[in-house]
Structure 1
Amino acid sequence: MSCSPMPQRTAVAELLLVSPIALNRLDLSSSRRRRITPTAEATSPRRVAIITRPGVITPSLNSIDRSRFPHPLGWSSRAEVAHIDQRVSLYKATTVPNSLHQNMATHDPQEPPPARHLIFSFDLREKFDPSSDPEKRDILWNIFPGTIGIGSDGWFVYLQLRTLPPKPWPLTVAGVPLYLHLKLGQNPLPPARPVSWKNGSIAEDQDGKYMKDWKPLFLAIKDHFQDLRIPITEVMYLGNVVVIVLKHRDTDTDTLPCRAAKIGCNYLFEDEMGRPSALHASRLTDPAPGNPDVSQYDTLQPGLRVASSYLPSSSATFMSTTTGVLLRDGVGNEFMTVAAHGFPSQCGTQVFHAFPGIGRDVGELVMEVSHTDIALVKLKDTEKFSNITFESDRIPEPIQLKQLAPTASCPRFSLVCLDSPDTGFIEGQFMWSSFQAIPSDDESAEQDWVFTTWSYMGQDAAMKFPEEMCGSSIWSEDGNVLGFFRYAPKEGLMKDWCVGLAADELINRGYTLVNTRDRT
């Protein structure tokens, strides 16, 4: 008796692993690579993947033009061409009806090779409909073996799998964040908690949907809750809904508005937000997980380790944070930015790179930009600071940072970049902005607020972000500085997200980024 052959696999797409090639490099006299590559960068995928229909890219080609794809994330506009490093066929999972193979429900192909971003001929940022278009759905369904469901909510593409693939996982698919899960209901968005429509609405004179400048809406919400004497700690604006964070669990929800400016209001509680406690002191002898780059560099730049003097209470402890950028104020003075809380008053005003004692004194902290946790450092005349990022395997050339950019100039899903001594180069996606209340012990004083950004950094990213990276600059692919790292919750509803101080806070005070191109 002859056995029936196994069913033929059907190739539904081709995956090309590519490495963008920088054609016009900055003229630098020396290498801009880190001396030590932190673990987070070293273990992240270095390449991007292009997924097309089989045969679309001629097999004889060994390179491909960026212009063939709509705004590909992770492929710098400075690299017009990418080298094709590897080709992999993606096969459709096929049901096996033959009784001889009844123990095999499906025949799944091998896992795709790791990539940071999955690029397609379509861009879901332009039309977010991955499950309604048969062609898109067919390709997305077969990226990972064992896919049993596809979903989307306007923010993420969700792939439900029988088993999760080996890490690392891609950050984006067709320009939007990707989320892999096993069970329905798992997602990284804060839960929608509306209140009864009977509660009424506020700010009906405004149209709150997708506002370019939503500060008037925030002020209306802030004033309303102040009149109600209900303390709130944050207002997030998602374009078609606002999320309001209540300070206390025992708040009477019957008094909360269900709508503001004709869009819905959802609610969270402060104890769900996972905000960090105060920065901990460090010792030179402390273990350093993640292989941080604590090297001492001759020229200062974004993403270097800085530290306070030793704490008076202990001759061996100090506070560690990260350099930001070089700014200029309205009268021409230049300052390096650092995280203010990393330089407590009892430590004095000296700033060291990389550590006190064995490092060098690079300048003096002269002031804090109120309510921002950004402090300004006047560098010594012997110090030079260059607003240029590090080069790495994932950045084909260093990026000359251009300017401070307002949050309104950054579309949703824009790629944001960080490079700290603790993580090296990492990426996320800007999702929305918020106003956060500044904690105060004086409840009788008027509440101060600060403008912030929320970026999604990828699944299981939370543990990559130690508190010492506070002060790191956050920039776009084009080199625009969008803000500065504040914290990344390690638990709670916003785990795997990153909060940054919006650059608007400095722009509104008259600060600009120094052009250091001629100082390299």
Structure 2
Amino acid sequence: MASQTATTVTSRHITLPFNLRADPLALNDPKNRELLYKLFPGTTGLAMDGTFLYIIQAEAPPKPWPKSIAGLPSYFAPQIGPQHTPVLFGWHLGRGSGAIARSLNGRDMADWEPLFIIVKNHFKVMGVSVTEIMYWGNYLVVILEHRRTADISKLPWKAGNIAVTYFYEDEVGRPSTPQSRCEAGPRPGNQVDLKSLTPAKRRRTRDFVFLGSSDRDSIEGSFMGTSFQRVIADEGSSEQQWVFAIWLYMGQDSADALPSRIYGNAIFTSTGYVLGFCQYAPTEGPMKDWCVGIATNEFIDRGFTNF
């Protein structure tokens, strides 16, 4: 039986006798909290939102920082607040703006595409241009293309009985050049002993995965969410389509250390199965320290299973 004070540090993961991902209520145990406070001198508070564990410190400890603590990605913050979180949570509207897809239970859907279709079509009927719809298990983020859009008071505040929040396209820090579904294929030389493509859709989120950074090296991140993006259908085409994408959290301040060339690099599991190919990793804005890739479903649906 593991000691109640046993702490194991492996590959920047701190393992404790309890796992906050499996048992979030373990944070309420005074013995567990005491153990967490002792990990980093100067800690003044602890918090979690089900996705991240927040270590409250006036000044973050020296790097390197752990990728996870007790099963959750960790984040150092001077205080608790929306400006001190890596969570992608946009601005939201009041109840008076209405709700859609009331018949669906949108929380923790294994396949949320039916909800996406309803939301996408709703905005199309409204005449509001949308570039991406993100799904985070208990809320959606809708990216609006234009600031001067239709009356925002008419945008839904809920869809499928979960919250809907919003960003404008110019807030999210994407590259200025539109990406096509074909351009996000694998980059030769980035193999890292990889196996076949495996569907990302329906896959459990919050697992640790890897982003290839060179011919033989990789960077660890967390598979956190998925989205549907509006992209150019093919190179040289004006036609636009929606593609399935995956979002990884690469770790606090990771954007400063990512290699300059990661476009097209494979995103894969610890066993070498490929989940997608990197599009970009924003270096500023609310998506800083995140990486997005086109999911393998887009390639599998076109008959590709191997490199």
TM-score norm. by structure 1 comes to: 0.53
Q: 2:215 and 2:87 mapped to 1: Cα distance?
A: 26
- Quote the offset at 1:217 in angstroms: 0.8
Q: 1:256 to 1:447 in 2, by over 3 A?
A: farther
- Match of 1:438, SS state, is strand
Q: Which residue number corresponds to residue 411 of structure 1?
A: 204
Does 2:10 match 1:200? no
Conserved 8 A contact 1:202-1:260 = yes
Q: 1:152 and 1:267 mapped to 2: Cα distance?
A: 23
Partner letter of residue 259 of structure 1? K
Does 2:80 match 1:270? no
Q: 1:449 to 1:16 in 2, by over 3 A?
A: closer
1:457 to 250, 255, 258: 250
- Quote the offset at 1:506 in angstroms: 0.9
Conserved 8 A contact 1:372-1:505 = no
TM-score norm. by structure 2 comes to: 0.88
Partner letter of residue 254 of structure 1? S
Conserved 8 A contact 1:374-1:471 = yes
Percent same amino acid at aligned positions?
Answer: 41
Q: 2:182 and 2:41 mapped to 1: Cα distance?
A: 46
Q: Which residue number corresponds to residue 477 of structure 1?
A: 270
Q: Which residue number corresponds to residue 63 of structure 2?
A: 167
- Match of 2:74, SS state, is strand
Q: 1:413 to 1:208 in 2, by over 3 A?
A: same
Does 2:26 match 1:127? no
Residue by residue, what CA displacement relative to the aligned partner does 1:123-159 show, whole Å, maximum 9, x if unpaired? 2221223532222212111110000000011110001
Does 2:156 match 1:242? no
Q: Which residue number corresponds to residue 213 of structure 2?
A: 420
Q: Name the count of aligned residue pairs.
A: 297
- Match of 2:117, SS state, is helix
Q: Which residue number corresponds to residue 86 of structure 2?
A: 188
Q: 1:211 and 1:147 mapped to 2: Cα distance?
A: 36
Runs of 4+ in 1 over 6 A off after TM superposition: none
Does 2:75 match 1:179? yes
Question: What is the 5 A alignment of 1:314-463?
Answer: 371-374=181-184, 389=192, 400-421=193-214, 424-438=217-231, 447-463=240-256
Residue by residue, what CA displacement relative to the aligned partner does 1:320-361 show, whole Å, maximum 9, x if unpaired? xxxxxxxxxxxxxxxxxxxxx7xxxxxxxxxxxxxxxxxxxx
State the Cα RMSD in Å. Answer: 2.5
Residue by residue, what CA displacement relative to the aligned partner does 1:240-284 show, whole Å, maximum 9, x if unpaired? 1111111122332111011111111111111111102349xxxxx
The runs of 5 or more residues in structure 1 that have no matched partner are: 1-11, 18-47, 49-73, 75-115, 280-340, 342-369, 380-384, 390-399, 515-520
1:497 to 290, 294, 301: 290
- Match of 1:254, SS state, is helix
Q: 1:198 to 1:409 in 2, by over 3 A?
A: closer
- Quote the offset at 1:424 in angstroms: 3.3
Residue by residue, what CA displacement relative to the aligned partner does 1:159-196 show, whole Å, maximum 9, x if unpaired? 10132111110111122110001133211112342212
Q: 2:251 and 2:94 mapped to 1: Cα distance?
A: 33
2:38 to 114, 126, 142: 142
Conserved 8 A contact 1:245-1:270 = yes
- Match of 1:141, SS state, is helix
Q: 2:90 and 2:37 mapped to 1: Cα distance?
A: 27
Q: Which residue number corresponds to residue 31 of structure 1?
A: none
Conserved 8 A contact 2:5-2:17 = no
Conserved 8 A contact 1:452-1:500 = yes
Q: 1:409 and 1:477 mapped to 2: Cα distance?
A: 18
